[in-house]
Amino acid sequence: MTTTPIYFKYKNHPGDLLRDDSVQRLPNFNTEKEDFWVWFHPDYSGSETVAYLNDLYKWLDEKLDEEEEQKFLQYYGAMTKEEIEVEIERTEAVLDLESLEGFWRMVEIGKVLIYS
């Protein structure tokens, strides 16, 4: 079954560098989560949750430098790879909820217009 694409547009420029007021295809929430977060999270670029998630992925992929790793360990404690993966899932779920709520609020108050 082919679905009709859905488009959206911010009524006014959202005032940040990651988003604009052009017509965009609505990202699929299930397969394009990060795109959905960028467009609809209330503070994606300044979110501590997003920064934490990025650090978790760096830690999982062993891409933290020694200083970053020490700071991370001090603040969050030691975690196994499995614990990091669970924490990533939990953190992504938080971002999902915040972004879905942000999307709904924007539609509800007319800040975002939907087209098909």
- Give the residue extent of every domain in the chain: 33-115
Residue 1 pLDDT > 70: no
Instruction: Name the nearest CA neighbour of 44 among 102, 107, 116.
Output: 102
Q: Is 10 left (phi over 0), alpha (psi -120 to 50) or beta?
A: beta
Whole-number average pLDDT of the chain: 92
Instruction: Name the nearest CA neighbour of 6 among 108, 113, 111.
Output: 113
pLDDT of residue 33: 96
- This prediction's pTM: 0.87
Provide the b/e sequence for 45-83 (b: ≥16 CB within 10 Å).
eebebbebbebbeebeeeebeeeeeeebeeeeeebeeee
Average of per-residue pLDDT across 68-73: 85
Asked if residues 87 and 58 have their Cβ atoms less than 8 Å apart, the reply is no
Average of per-residue pLDDT across 32-47: 95
